[in-house]
Structure 1
Amino acid sequence: MLDRLLLSRFRNHRETVLEGAAQFNLLVGENGAGKTNVLEAISLLAPGRGLRRAALTDIPARDGTRRDEGAGFAVSADLLFRDAGTVRLGTGASADRPTRRLVQVNGAQASAASLAEWLSIGWLTPAMDRLFTESAGGRRRFLDRLVLALRPGHASHCARLENALRERNRMLCDPRTPDPWWLDAIELQIAEAGSAVAQARSELIERLEAVLATLPDSPFARPRLTYRPGGPIEAEPLAADLREGRARERAAQRTLIGPHRDEIEVTMASKGQAAAECSTGEQKAMLIALVLAHSHLLESNGETRPRLLLLDEVAAHLDPVRREALFDRLRQGAAQVWLTGTETAPFAPILGEAAVWRVENGTVARS
């Protein structure tokens, strides 16, 4: 598990150290104290832009009301392994190159994608309550994080797909006729990476559905998932469709088929109602059911990497019955859990076994 965490110049945390973590880890403090900032720092130990999807230049600590010009930041974590001892992961940005993300594993330079080989991280935040009503892009990102927990290489495929799509769209927007040979090469990259991404998403949806089918409809509303691909999920048919659609997509000045157009439809199983039309309470319950099903899938898959689950202000929006059920399910799992709250009362069932920190104005003290 994650045992020690260091935040340096990270948002409102000048120098924060958390040591001696447990299975349950609770951050308590007023709104704006810096609790979610700690969760965000942990989330940056995974590939991607973290739970806030913030730009690197928005993260360094502020002096008063102004952000430090050209400042960097750092996050460091020690992971304890039974056989390998301690592994130290680090990420951040330097003052001289504030837009370039730096990653280290045991002091050696590494790629952001390689972080997935050491650690699996998932999260639920209040902003995700809009997951079922926002754009399909948010649901794709959510699904990709779940895939990443099972397939560390998924981050590389997503990055390759994104880069190739960006290059093809640039060529489609160019008033000059693109070189067909170069388009062929770019489309082959899209097809190969896109097929890997789409097949991984499809497989995960199928496996999640199998787990969800075994769960009761209460206390958490059970979701039903359907994967709607944005194009062929095999490489050759996808490459052929891209080649045939050049004229139409050149007129649209963007790529119209491929995994970047995937949709994940979610319905409430007991009602057969689209998740977007359900109440906010039902949507929250379905999100929790999805996270718990994913955790069960990881454990049945024999996952050996440390797993972290970051739950921001989750307990406050659940009634006592659902809170107890959530804590009981988490207690039975193997993931290390980090939770935030404005008071300890909602966490009474786990206080006796949790590591508790009081957060105030960017400082953290063990309670």
Structure 2
Amino acid sequence: MPHKVSLSRLKLTDFRNYASAGLQLDGRHVVLVGDNGAGKTNLMEAVSFLSPGRGMRRATYGDVTRVGAHGGFTIFAALDGMDGEVEIGTGVDGNDESTSRRLRINGTPAKTADELTDHLRLLWLTPSMDGLFTGGSSERRRFLDRLVLSLDPAHGRRASDFERAMRSRNKLLDERRFDPSWLSGIEEQMATLGIAMAMARQEMLGLLVRLIEETRETSPFPSASLDLAGFMDGQFDRPAVDLEDEYAAQLAESRYRDAAAGRTLEGPHRADLLVRHRDKRMEAARCSTGEQKALLVGLIMAHARLVANLTGHAPVLLLDEIAAHLDENRRAALFDLIDALGGQAFMTGTDRSMFSALDDRAQFFTVADGKIFE
């Protein structure tokens, strides 16, 4: 069984609706129960800040900092991590959005937030993701890239560097500055980064599809068929250098078209994740709401298993309102899957009885008005 990464302490200051709060944990799963708006999701969001980025809500620091607080927010966590016991502290000093997030690992300033992935991997599922299959392609790309990032921590840096280079190219085209040498340099950089991004997505998706096929008969959730479209379709069996040359040539040929459009029309930023209900042979977007939820839960759990298999460390799962739309049998099956994964999961709900199948496998906390009771 993969090594169990688990939090033992969590402390917050001026985070969302918490002036201060703390949790003492014993390594079991964590269930947070309370009315809507009590602050359950805020606690899980704090845990999500133990990964690179802006957490599971992608919030601005001003939104995260408690209303009325003037010194920013802090999050502290102690955990048994992938590299042993570790203490992580993060936060910001003020509400200015230009302020960068501070990060300390065992009291030492971290060079980049990517260092967090040396200690834990986080996956989350929130109600806002319920429209993933029916919404725009940008949300599916973001979801896909989070999956890739949990296996390949360098993916986030490549994506941000690609976006930066693309913005520079768009600016030159908008200003009608068609300097061939300048544009060619930027386009070569975009080609290198863009093909690396696309290949990382393809590799992760291939691994995930194989795992889904292997567990198809035993999973309590419907199996998803997955594919990518919208960029270099069907060409990723060719050497990366050939794909880079071809993409750079596409960018060079499309300068005037992109200038007229006001954006870059070809690239990994245009790709889309295609999801189908395998047994029904139906696009996920056409499935019922319940089927879409079951597909999404199954996809997250399959990816969690993939992370555990490839890293040797089970991810920490953040599952917001996970039991609300599942019947009793499927809830029990999900809890067994979570437990068998070998990691720690944080779950929220309004009704404690919905988690009764977990029994003593979880610690239960009641959350009310920004306070936590065990």
Give the TM-score category using the shorter length: over 0.9
Instruction: Supply the distance in 2 between the matched residues of 1:338 and 1:309 (Cα, whole angstroms).
Output: 6
Q: Aligned partner of 2:161: which letter? A: R
* Aligned partners of 1:223 and 1:268 also within 8 Å: yes
- Residue identity matched to 1:75: I
| Range with greater deviation from structure 2 (208-217 or 229-238) | 229-238
Alpha-carbon distance in 2 for matches of 1:156, 1:321: 41
Q: Structure 2: which 5+ runs fail to align?
A: 1-5, 237-242
CA contact (8 A) 2:308 2:315 kept: no
The answer to whether the 8 A contact 1:72-1:98 is kept is no
* Secondary structure at the counterpart of residue 150 of structure 2: helix
RMSD over equivalenced CA pairs, Å: 1.9
Amino acid at match of 1:144: D
TM-score by length of 1: 0.92
In structure 1, distance between residues paired with 2:250 and 2:90: 39
Show the counterpart of 1:204: 204
Partner of 1:62: 67
Residue 320 of structure 2 corresponds to residue 319 of structure 1 = no
1:47 aligns with 2:52: yes
Please say if 1:352 is aligned against 2:353. no
- Equivalence for 2:119: 118
Contact 1:56 1:99 in 2 (8 A): no
Matched, 1:92 2:101: no
1:156 Cα deviation from its structure 2 partner: 1.3
Q: Deviations over 1:223-257 (max 9, x none)?
A: 11011142476322211211111111111111111
Letter of the 1:90 partner, please give it.
G
Match of 1:187? 187
1:16 paired with 2:25, answer: no
Structure 1 residues without counterparts, runs of 5 or longer: none
Q: For 2:200 and 2:328, how far apart are their aligned partners in 1?
A: 37
Other structure's SS at 1:4 match: strand
The AA in structure 2 aligned to 1:158 is A
Matched pairs, number: 358
The one-letter code sitting in structure 1 at the alignment partner of 2:366 is: R
What is the DSSP-based 3-state SS (H/G/I as helix, E as strand, rest coil) of the residue aligned with 1:151? Answer: coil
Give the match's secondary structure for 2:123: strand
Change (3 A) 1:246 1:360: same
What is the aligned-residue identity percentage?
42
Equivalences for residues 255-334 of structure 1 within 5 A: 255-304=264-313, 307-334=315-342
Measure the CA separation in 2 of the matches of 1:3 and 1:167.
44
Equivalence for 1:149: 150
Q: Find the aligned partners of 1:182 and 1:102 in 2 and give their Cα distance.
A: 35
TM-score (norm 2): 0.91
Counterparts of 2:270 and 2:289 in 1: how far apart (Å)?
Answer: 26
Secondary structure of 2:365 counterpart? strand
How many Å separate the matches in 2 of 1:264 and 1:343?
A: 34
Task: Pick closer, same or farther for the CA change 1:188–1:90 going to 2, 3 Å.
Answer: farther
Letter in 1 for 2:199: Q
